[in-house]
Amino acid sequence: MTDHLSTPFPPEWREIADHFMAMRFRYQSALREVQTKLEILDDEFQMRHSRNPIHHMESRIKQPDSIIQKLRRKGLPLTPEAAMENLHDIAGIRVVCAYLNDAYTIADLLCSQDDIRLLQTRDYIRQPKPNGYRSLHLIVEVPVFMSTGKQLVPVEVQIRTIAMDFWASLEHHLRYKETSDVPDELNSQLFEASEKIAALDQDMQHIHDQMLEWVSKHT
Give catalytic residue positions. Answer: 156
H/E element holding 96? strand 91-97
d(CA 59, CA 37) in angstroms, rounded, equals: 14
The amino acid occupying position 183 is P
Pure H helices in 87-161:
100-111
Closest listed residue to residue 71, CA positions, set 83, 62, 63: 83
The amino acid occupying position 41 is L
d(CA 35, CA 33) in angstroms, rounded, equals: 6
**Long-range contacts from 9-14, C-beta under 8 angstroms, 24+ separation:** 9/64, 10/64, 10/65, 10/68, 12/68, 12/78, 13/64, 13/68, 13/78, 13/80
